[in-house]
Amino acid sequence: MPTPSKQKKRKGSSPLAAIVLAAGKGTRMKTRRAKVLHPVCGRPMVYFPVKRALEAGADPVVVVVGHQGDEVERSLRASLPGAPLRFARQERQLGTAHAVLAAKASLRGYTGPVMILSGDTPLLTTSTLASVVDARTAPQSLAFATMDLENPKGYGRVVHAPGKGPALIVEEKDATPQERQIREVNAGLYVADAGFLWSTLSRVDAKNAQREFYLTDLVALAADGPGAVAVRVSPVEAQGVNDLEDMSLATRAMTRRIASSLMKSGVTLEDPERFDADEGVEVGPDTVIEPSVRLRGTTRIGGGCVIGQGSILLDTVVGDGATILPYSHFDRASVGDGCRVGPFARLRPEATLAEGVPVGNFVELKKTSMGKRSKANHLTYLGDATIGADVNVGCGTITCNYDGERKHPTRIGDGVFVGSDAILVAPISIGKGAYVAAGSTLTESVAAGALALGRARQVNKNGWARERAALKASGKEK
Ligand code: UD1
Ligand code: CA
């Protein structure tokens, strides 16, 4: 799976627990939806720090939830089935220290190191998490991540004691004008010993500009006690998402990682800047992806395929050697090896193409399977249909699957030839090897090997045009 930063679990089996803070509303987002639920590459933002903590070897990972907490819990459980997740409620958001304390009961009895992450830092990689874990100088000491920013606005500033390492973190709103000049900021990623954490957090108060319990106070308390160490990490990874513009930048950066991991595994992206993919999509080697393609959800594409410009694939499986021509739209479809689909094809849920099936322009399929080598090359709607092998579906064919109340099935046997512009009123079945004459409207099933004609007999009036012209000339035409 081309997960961008899939690193190995930490060596050995040293214990590690993690707490991911995800209870805040995210006021700066200006949206109704809680910040950590906003999607980055198809996953709620909070999925990423949780996943990376698991990859770093954390067991359990306690997620502190509050705003829209049920939804946060549901989406994480669904996307990480079987993972050692626990959920703790923080009913009122009284600050980051208060949020960590909300996780205390979930870690009762645990005595090892605890990693604390923010739910709004989706770009952190597992190796960065490991570097902070490994930076602790003694089991009791605190390690935390910092970064240097051109514009440190909004972040907690890291104040160092000359020659002694970090002394404290001061939040922007509490900082003196001089402290605000500091460009080394707190990235919001900490590793502390459980015993130190619980005994120290109870001493944190809310005597500050925001009247909140600041987790950042841990640094001063550790500096005075067991020691604190600051680990510089990349700002590209550690910048938090606070508003929708930050979110778009995070999405772009995450997409670039997915793109680069695909390219490294043998996938050609004609323009990685015009490519969108959700976390977890899979593409086989020797596949070529043209510009402006969007691969979403659980989409899996085999090797040696071409995905045409502007195509959108959601939760779709494509076999090996398939060609998807430009501007096709697939949703929960399955495309067999060697199929050739599009341009402008629409495959809706449960459209299933066996090997080598061509589906052409302006063809829509819904809950319809087509057997090997069957064709539907132009302008067709097939819904609730089961189509055998070697069937020709002529241009303009329509299955009338809906009577205004219910949907009805159409069955077409192997080797059937459906002429152009046929209307098949379901429920109906066409037996093996039968022929349907072009322009037919069929309301009754057809036996194997039969020819079905369902249209008015043609009448030719020879010389009609000449007679009409003569009438016109004599002034007698009505
Ligand atoms: C915090 C840090 C700041 C740091 C920055 C890095 C504090 C006091 N400040 O500021 O030093 O530079 O992160 O990104 O910690 N949350 C809760 N419950 C709460 C409050 C917050 O769960 O009561 C969660 C939020 O949902 C969010 C995370 O904690 O996921 C961080 O909170 P946020 O308000 O974004 O903190 P910052 O102001 O960015
Ligand atoms: Ca933040």
pLDDT, tens only, 88-114: 999 999 999 999 999 999 999 999 999
Predicted pLDDT of residue 163: 87
Q: How confident is the model at residue 137 (pLDDT cuts 50, 70, 90)?
A: confident
pLDDT at 472 over 60: yes
Domain boundaries, the chain: 17-244, 266-452
- Asked whether residue 3 carries a pLDDT value surpassing 80, the answer given is no
Is the pLDDT at 10 greater than 50? The verdict is no
Q: Are 311 and 293 in contact (CB under 8 A)?
A: yes
Within a 10 A sphere around the Cβ of 96, how many other Cβ atoms?
25
**Do residues 100 and 197 lie in contact, with contact meaning Cβ atoms separated by under 8 Å?**
yes
pLDDT at 35 over 70: yes
Distance, in Å, from the CA atom of 154 to the CA atom of 310, rounded to the nearest integer, reads 39
Ligand 2 centroid from CA 389, angstroms: 57
Mean pLDDT over residues 219-228, rounded? 95
| Average pLDDT of the chain, as a whole number | 95
* For ligand 1, mutation pick of 48, 98, 118, 215 (most atoms within 8 Å of CB): 118
pLDDT of residue 161: 93
Distance CA 122, CA 45 (A): 6
Question: Phi/psi at 143 (nearest 5 deg)?
Answer: -120, 140
The arithmetic mean of pLDDT across residues 358-373, rounded, is 98
Residues whose CB falls within 8 Å of the CB of residue 96, separated by 6 or more in sequence, listed in order: 21, 188, 212, 213, 214, 215, 216
Pocket test for ligand 1, best of 19, 33, 96 (most atoms within 8 A of CB): 96
Q: Pairing relation of β-strands 346-347 and 329-331?
A: parallel
Per-residue confidence (pLDDT) for residue 11, from 0 to 100: 46
Check residue 478 and give its pLDDT. 62
pLDDT of residue 13: 60
Taking the C-alpha atoms of residue 369 and residue 352, their distance in angstroms, rounded to an integer, is: 5
Q: Which ligand is nearest to the CA of 35?
A: 1
CA distances from 342 to 285, 321, 337, 339, 348 (A): 22, 15, 15, 10, 13
Cα-to-centroid distance, 218 and ligand 1 (Å): 14
Mean of pLDDT values over 255-284:
98
pLDDT number for residue 5: 41
Cα(200) to ligand 2 centroid in Å equals 23
Give the residue whose CA is nearest to atom 35 of ligand 1. 242
- Distance CA(360)–CA(346), nearest Å, equals 10
How does DSSP assign 389-403, residue by residue? Answer: SS-EE-TT-EEE-B-
CATH of domain 266-452: 2.160.10.10
CA-angle at 231, arms to 230 and 232, nearest 5°: 115
So what's the pLDDT on residue 276? 98
Residue 139: pLDDT band by 50, 70, 90 thresholds? Answer: confident
Element (H, E) at 62: strand 61-65
The DSSP code sequence of 392-435 is: EE-TT-EEE-B-SS-B--EEE-TT-EEPTT-EEESSEEE-TT-E
Q: 157 alpha carbon to ligand 1 midpoint, in Å?
A: 13
Residue nearest to atom 3 of ligand 1 (CA): 156
Residue nearest to atom 22 of ligand 1 (CA): 23
- pLDDT tens digits for 158-168? 999 998 899 99
Task: Tell which atom from ligand 1 comes closest to the C-alpha of 34.
Answer: 26
Residue appearing with tokens 């939830």: 65
Which ligand 1 atom lies nearest to the CA of residue 25?
Answer: 26
Class of domain 17-244 (CATH, top level) = alpha beta
Asked whether 318 and 338 are in contact (CB, 8 A), the reply is no
For residues 221 and 200, the answer to whether their CB atoms sit within 8 Å is: yes
Ligand 1 interacting residues, C-beta cut-off 6 A: 21-24, 36, 64, 90, 93-96, 98-99, 118-120, 155-156, 169, 171, 185-188, 214-216, 240
Can 378 be counted among the known catalytic residues? yes
**How do residues 120-133 score in pLDDT, each as one tens digit?**
999 999 999 999 99
The Cα–Cα gap between 209 and 457 comes to 88
Label residues 296-328 b or e (16+ Cβ within 10 Å = b). Answer: bbebbbbebbbbbbbbbbbbbbbbbbbbbbbbb
What would the mean pLDDT of 136-152 be, rounded to a whole number? Answer: 94
pLDDT band at 8 (very low <50, low <70, confident <90, very high): very low
Cβ-based neighbours of 33, under 8 Å, separated by 6 or more: 68
CA gap 445, 176 in Å, rounded: 85
Residue 117 CA to ligand 1 centre (angstroms):
10
DSSP H or E run through 470: helix 464-473
As a whole number, mean pLDDT of residues 257-267 equals 98
Q: Is the pLDDT of residue 435 over 80?
A: yes
- Contact (CB, 8 A) for 321 and 305: yes
The active-site residue out of 38, 98, 160, 378 is 378
